[in-house]
Amino acid sequence: MLKQISVLIRKELTLEWRQKFALNGILLYVVSAVFITYLSFGARSGALSIPTWNSLYWIIILFSAVNAVAKSFVQEHQGRQLYYYMIASPEAIILSKIIYNTGLTLILALLGYGVFSMILGNPVQDHGLFLLNLILGAMGFSASLTMVSGIASKAGNNATLMAILSFPVIIPILLMAIRISKNALDGLDWSVSGDKLLSLLAINAIVGATAYILFPYLWRS
Amino acid sequence: MRQNWWKILGVALLLYTLIAGLLMDVPRLPILNETIRALHFHVTMWFGMILLLIVSVYYSVKFLRTNDLNYDDLAVEFANIAIVFGVLGIATGMLWAQFAWGDYWSGDPKQNAAAIGILMYFAYLILRNSLIDNHQRARIGAIYNIFAFAAFIPLIFVLPRLTDSLHPGNGGNPGFNAYDLDSKLRMVFYPAIIGWTLFGAWIATLRVRSRRINREMEDHFLNS
């Protein structure tokens, strides 16, 4: 199982590396989205209030993550999927995709963070908490979005479907992440965010476990 | 008759709810006053919705285990009725909020969670309609139904507890929590939950039957 997962993750990495345009495209997406918000606010660095900074940041990460993960089941065509179906267990496939997408979302989030701090200012006071929250948020985003992209790919994979299916499912994760991130921005003590971190972890676990249990049924059809 | 007792029970309980809920004496609480009667018509919608959704998820699981389309009929129709209950719950809640809080929409966490839940199940219906093949529609619909329910439960039970809600019983508002829920209110409230749920289940089973007849007729038509 572990071996299967590691081989599959390596496969994803190789694929991504060979089709660099997809990765570069999504990276450029983040940068231009941040730049558009910057221009539309007509903002000089530091002119945004902290709650606005926070919600803008997470909304941009959400949209980039949806776009980045949406392709996880369509970039390979039917024939190759059938081949994976025969050689790997569905559990290994969903876990490898979730782990890979967590990394991808994390890279997007860090890039977004970098660009944000460069042009819109960096009000974060507690970097450790902010990063921990990013990691947890990326895990949750990737678990739910990977599963939803699997569902959407079975239904003709149009972008609208991906969006309407994933947004309501992702809202609990997004809200928790935004709230913890607000605490990190304000530099509040960790004890304030402790129970929120736990609930975020619990929601991640629920979503991940459900995806793990349900994916085999989706894969078989 | 033996199979229909619960329908009669449901109707009787609803009649009782209507009469007793509207006419019986209610405790006078500040702000709430007579609007406390919304307890029997608004709060019960949510209980009914959650119960019906649990039934729907149960049948979705059964469908995935057996691949029997009859279970899918049950799952989708129970979800449909649950959505109707949800929409009614939002509508009655907004009406009530206009009088109790002075605004139709006040950004209350429970209100928001309920709206998100409704979005989730509308997405479920759209997903189902975007698939053409009966078996695939049933399978993928069932998968999303279970997945959405797993995300909905933490949403509706955990998130509202993190911030103060305007709802009675939260954040120091007077309300129908354990101390205030008068035994007289309870005498109508619990039967009302059962009554609405049974009523919803009745509508669902009727729609399941019409669905099955339609499918039979289609098959018949295709084979002839």
What are the pLDDT digits (tens) for B28-78? 666 666 777 777 788 888 888 889 999 999 999 999 998 888 899 899 999
What are the pLDDT digits (tens) for B197-214? 888 899 999 999 998 998
Mean pLDDT of chain B: 81
Specify whether the CB–CB gap between B94 and B105 falls below 8 A: yes
Our CA-based measurement puts residue A14 at a distance from the nearest CA of chain B, in whole angstroms, of 30
Please, which residues have CB within 8 angstroms of residue B203's CB and are 6 or more apart in sequence?
B81
Q: CA nearest B56: which of B152, B175, B126?
A: B152
| Percent of the residues in chain B that have a pLDDT greater than 70, as a whole number | 82
Our CA-based measurement puts residue A209 at a distance from the nearest CA of chain B, in whole angstroms, of 10
Our CA-based measurement puts residue A214 at a distance from the nearest CA of chain B, in whole angstroms, of 6
Q: CA nearest B127: which of A7, A54, A164, A59?
A: A164
In chain B, whose CA is at the least distance from the CA of A164? B123
Q: CA nearest A121: which of A179, A48, A185?
A: A48
Which 8-state DSSP code applies to residue B37? G
Query: Is A155 an interface residue toward B (CB < 8 Å)?
Result: yes
pLDDT at res. B18: 82
Residue B142 has pLDDT above 70, yes or no: yes
3-class SS shares of chain A: helix, strand, coil, % to 5: 85, 0, 15
pLDDT at res. B157: 67
pLDDT at res. A127: 86
Specify whether the CB–CB gap between A150 and A218 falls below 8 A: yes
pLDDT at res. B33: 66
Chain B hits for A167, Cβ within 8 Å? 119
- Sign of the alpha-carbon torsion through B148, B149, B151, B155: positive
In chain A, whose CA is at the least distance from the CA of B112? A171
* Contact flag A169-B147 (C-beta cutoff 8 Å): yes
CA distances from A25 to A119, A135, B82, B127, B176 (A): 20, 22, 42, 28, 54
User: In sequence order, what DSSP letters do the residues of B100-128 get, joined into one string?
Assistant: HTSSS----HHHHHHHHHHHHHHHHHHHH
Report the C-alpha gap between B112 and B40 in whole angstroms: 21
Specify whether the CB–CB gap between A142 and A69 falls below 8 A: yes
Residue B180 has pLDDT above 60, yes or no: no
In chain A, whose CA is at the least distance from the CA of B128? A155
pLDDT averaged over 10-residue windows placed end to end, chain A, 221 residues: 84 82 88 87 71 90 89 74 78 89 92 87 84 92 91 79 88 88 85 84 90 87 66
Specify whether the CB–CB gap between A184 and A130 falls below 8 A: yes
Report the C-alpha gap between B75 and A54 in whole angstroms: 40
How many other C-beta atoms lie within 10 A of the C-beta of residue A76? 15
pLDDT at res. B172: 47
Specify whether the CB–CB gap between A214 and B143 falls below 8 A: yes
What are the pLDDT digits (tens) for B76-119? 999 999 999 999 988 888 888 887 777 777 777 778 888 888 88
Radius of gyration in angstroms for the set of CA atoms belonging to chain A, rounded to a whole number = 18
Specify whether the CB–CB gap between B17 and B188 falls below 8 A: yes
Specify whether the CB–CB gap between A172 and B154 falls below 8 A: yes
Residue B165 has pLDDT above 80, yes or no: no
pLDDT at res. B179: 44
Here the tokens at position A3 are 């071996």
Chain B hits for A158, Cβ within 8 Å? 130
Mutate to test the interface with B, among A169, A176, A182, A196 (most CBs of B within 10 A): A169
Give residue ranges of B with CB < 8 Å to any A CB.
64, 116-117, 119-120, 122-123, 126-127, 130-131, 135-136, 139-140, 142-144, 146-148, 150-151, 153-155, 158-159, 162
Report the C-alpha gap between B18 and A28 in whole angstroms: 60
- For A89: left if phi > 0, alpha if psi spans -120 to 50, otherwise beta; the answer is beta
Which 8-state DSSP code applies to residue B40? I
In three-state secondary structure terms, B3 is coil
